[in-house]
């Protein structure tokens, strides 16, 4: 029989109030609060906390404060990552972000959803998740929302305020609600 954490990581319906998961979220919130309290005043200490919190951090990582997440250990960022102010990553499933990626202010990346069955949604006790993957050289504009299960290819630009509900391949500029391809990215090496 699977634990609730195993169900969560497998993308199955799980009980969000499971004691193990509650404890892990509380630990992550302590690290997030420590990180946000440091702000811009001590970049070395801030980076140390992010490296404790995230599942993987590549070379050169900069995250600005008032960052929020659920668990932290499901966030994997590669080299040269930047997240501007007030970003939210609900990392119930893994969030994988490639090299040289930029997140504008207030970008939100969600891996968690709730079941369609209203009986399971009552009291918010059950969740279900899908991974989010973002390729290399992505730029996610301020206020954009990336929904559960989305994969974005390399060199994707997401317009500010967009809601990305489906996956897109490489070298495109997307925008809107729901996001759609606006044009091919002309700056491809």
Positions marked catalytic: 114
Q: Are 163 and 146 in contact (CB under 8 A)?
A: no
- What CA–CA distance (Å, rounded) separates 118 from 114? 9
- What CA–CA distance (Å, rounded) separates 177 from 175? 7
**DSSP 3-state of 39:** coil
- What CA–CA distance (Å, rounded) separates 125 from 28? 19
- What CA–CA distance (Å, rounded) separates 149 from 53? 22
Torsion of Cα atoms, 84 then 87 then 91 then 93, to 10°: -70
């Amino acid at each position: 029989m699977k634990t609730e954490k195993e169900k969560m990581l497998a993308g199955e319906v799980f009980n969000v109030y499971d004691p193990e998961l509650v404890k892990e979220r509380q630990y992550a919130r302590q690290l997030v609060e420590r990180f946000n309290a440091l702000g811009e005043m001590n970049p070395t200490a801030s980076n140390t906390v992010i490296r404790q919190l995230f599942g993987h951090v590549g070379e050169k990582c900069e995250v600005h404060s008032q960052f929020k997440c659920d668990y932290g250990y499901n966030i994997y960022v590669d080299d040269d990552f930047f997240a501007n102010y007030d970003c939210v990553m609900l990392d119930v499933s893994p969030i994988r972000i490639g090299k040289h990626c930029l997140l504008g202010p207030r970008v939100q990346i969600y891996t968690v959803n709730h079941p369609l069955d209203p009986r399971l949604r009552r009291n918010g006790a059950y969740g279900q998740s899908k991974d989010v993957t973002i390729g290399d050289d992505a730029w996610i504009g301020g206020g954009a929302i990336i929904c559960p299960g989305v994969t974005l290819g390399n060199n994707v630009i997401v317009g500010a305020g967009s809601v990305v509900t489906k996956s897109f391949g490489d070298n495109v500029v997307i925008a809107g609600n729901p996001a759609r391809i606006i044009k091919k990215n002309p700056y491809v090496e």
